[in-house]
Amino acid sequence: MNIGVFDSGLGGLTVVKTMLNHLSGANIYYVADTKNAPYGEKTKEQILNFSISITDYLISNYHIDALVVACNTATSAAISELREKYPNLIIVGTEPGLRPAISHSHTKEVGVLATPATLNGEKYKTLRDELSSEFKAHIHEQACHGLVEQIELGELNSQKTMEMLHVWLNPMRDSGVDTIVLGCTHYPLISDSIRKIMGENIVLVETSEPISKRLVKLLKDQNIISNGVNNLKIFTTGKINDKMIEKIIGVNISTENIVL
């Protein structure tokens, strides 16, 4: 089976790492669109154009059976159009885990860390309003300007990164937030830094596991099954931090620069 995955940078590799534990015999082609990163502060039209270009590349060159949009921002901005444009392609998106976070929160004070584009998405706002009303929950949203860039640089717990996190998280901690939604696939990489501020008991909700299980189910439903060793190739449209790739995946994987 051939599976395409993309994100604006390294973050989607947190999803790929989990996918590798659920799949066998899969060729995974990952595109890190670092030339256009970060997506979080781009327009919907720009993100849609980036997403279509990447999808066309993966279909034309690798005949992918499925596409994983391993980016909350791109999912919010483009997934409906992608499904309409490629009706025969299995497409799995990434959305903030609001429902499990609110369901499991004891205080019903729930934090959401995300990009501006994700927080402004209509689907997200509708779900937020429905769930906060249903569960009588208070949602503390924070648009994390500049955080993706820090993570891409490998500055997971640098002084600058920790200062940014303190500004965003201290009010949540003071408000009794006990659960935080990591609304960007980059953010699991700073889980330890978040816990230093919020405490070890904070519950961090990310969605790589549900995404992987959903992908496996859809592949089986269409009888796209294979066995054997997984193979991962990583493509970039610009510069990328190779050391972070090894940190996330656990092995050193070379990258190939592509032009879309």
Distance between CA 140 and CA 177 in Å, rounded? 8
Task: In whole angstroms, give the CA distance from residue 223 to residue 66.
Answer: 12
Candidates 29, 79, 24, 11; CA nearest to 51 is: 79
Q: Measuring CA to CA, which residue among 62, 54, 8 is closest to residue 231?
A: 62
The model's pTM is 0.95
71 given a catalytic annotation: yes
List the structure tokens of 202.
Answer: 């904070």
What secondary structure does DSSP assign to 141-189, as a single string? EEE-TTHHHHHHTT-SS-HHHHHHHHHHHHHHHHTT--EEEEESTTGGG
CA 199 to chain centre: 23
From 32, 68, 70, 71, active-site residue: 71
- The one catalytic residue in 15, 68, 184, 249 is 184
Q: Is 144 a catalytic residue?
A: no
Please give the backbone phi and psi of residue 89, each rounded to the nearest 5 degrees, phi first.
-105, 130
**Domain annotation for the chain: domains and CATH numbers:** 2-94+208-257 (3.40.50.1860), 98-205 (3.40.50.1860)
**Lookup: tokens for 247:** 């940190």
Q: Is the peptide bond before 100 cis (omega within 30 degrees of 0)?
A: no
**Closest to 88 in 3D by CA, of 54, 68, 65, 58:** 65
The C-alpha atoms of residue 196 and residue 194 are separated, in whole angstroms, by: 5
CB neighbours of 211 closer than 8 A, spacing ≥ 6? 15, 18, 19, 68, 70, 92, 94
Over its length of 260 residues, how does the chain's per-residue pLDDT go in tens digits? Answer: 999 999 999 999 999 999 999 999 999 999 999 999 999 989 999 999 999 999 999 999 999 999 999 999 999 999 999 999 999 999 999 999 999 999 999 999 999 999 999 999 998 999 999 999 999 999 999 999 999 999 999 999 999 999 999 999 999 999 999 999 999 999 999 999 999 999 999 999 999 999 999 999 999 999 998 999 999 999 999 999 999 999 999 999 999 999 99
Predicted local distance difference test score (pLDDT) of residue 232: 98
Q: What does the alpha-carbon distance between residue 108 and residue 178 come to, in Å, rounded to a whole number?
A: 8
